[in-house]
Structure 1
């Protein structure tokens, strides 16, 4: 069943249920109509308005209930039709997948059969070539045998001196061949020895280079630790010296009012933008960083020396690269205003490569 058949079934169902609802409503109206007078007898009927209103209200409630029930039933039919359509589409996708897998398997089988035939043909060709070579060898051996017989018969008639000379020449040629083989073996052995020595030399050079690199890395690590220790000590001394001074400056700054505070905030933002630009200029940008962010917090000395850089949040790879860029910068420019310097000594920046 396709989608058009489902739609037609839904439309027909809606029409039939609409007709049924109309018939129900019409039957209710008909039952409530006034009876026609019969004969000439006239009877007076006292109608209670409250009863009439109550009955009318009940009729309206029945109509509304019937209408709501019909709407709910139609909604269930639509949901069932939608579920059937989804099942049909899922079945079509499954059949398409099965067909694709069948075609793929058939193609693989054809290719395997072609490969089998090709291998069989190659084997048959090789076997035919082998048979031909064996036949040619047999003929050559037979011809050689006949030739040897003729030569032996002719040689028997030759002089003994000529026979000895021939054998001597054969022996000389054999010795020459053995000598050439020995020289070739010696040459190969010497070449293998030279190759082994060259590989050993290169391995020794690599070992020495790796050892030198390790020593250099260890020295750089120790130097970095020493500089970090010096920086921490310098920070401690500077912080101790500036604590009292900044305490007075902070009180004075609070007395100057909002204008001074706005100036400090603006200067802090301006230097923060400069710091961010310096970090991104020293960042080893990877294409995978585009569109990502990293929030880092830097602690600086009063002179701008980097004391610490920590990851607050964001992409971990970008944060590692950002901290490496901070270490590469090592020292940031600081303003002359001590209040701004104090704000910049612990600053939070968002790095987002473009």
Structure 2
């Protein structure tokens, strides 16, 4: 508004000057019927008008420059206000964040305090429990000590009784010995005759037993060979059953796994344990055994007895 006023006043002055010039020119005009020569505007007057117009233009440019400067200052002021507002907002946000941080820290300290109190209570409870446990242990120790003393007392009493019984038994034995000596001498002759007859009988029985033992040994060796042959056959069948269920790949080529297998009398697998070998092959072997579920076993007890717990080496086969 102030800029508009500054512009209006020079304009009014300039307009007044122009009007004055026109009035002066008009006063010099003759309005009679006879036409008179028009007075010529002097060079100084024209020059004055041109100077005034130039001053007005300069003043207008000055006013525009001042207006621009005012606009620049106003913008700078507005920018400063916005900066101050932004700075105040940031400061307020920072203060709010600090307050929030302090609140979080306060809550954390409250939690730490609660945890410390809980830990203290737990430590007190643990100390109380340990004290009670120690008291109970001491009570048990004292009870065991009493039992030990009672046991030692009973043992001493039993030892006295045993010695008394041994003495009585020794006396009775001596009496029996004296009687037995007489009886022994009587029987010795009869016994000598009986032993002679017994030696003859035992000699004959020994000869018969030796013959039977030789026959039994021969039969046992034959049966052992049969059993081992059956064990080998069933071991091969077990390995073949596992091989059929074994999923192989090229990474297993040339590798093996040694595994312990426990079998029920119907062939059901009750337990396995990896002994050694490649981890991939061993894992696949356990999967194959679990998939098979039951493995071949003999119904003959002596063959099954050698198959119920076996160590088996499994090596993947490739076509």
Q: TM-score range by the shorter chain?
A: 0.3 to 0.5
TM-score (norm 1): 0.36
* Structure index of larger Rg: 2
Please give the TM-score of this superposition, normalised by the length of structure 2: 0.39
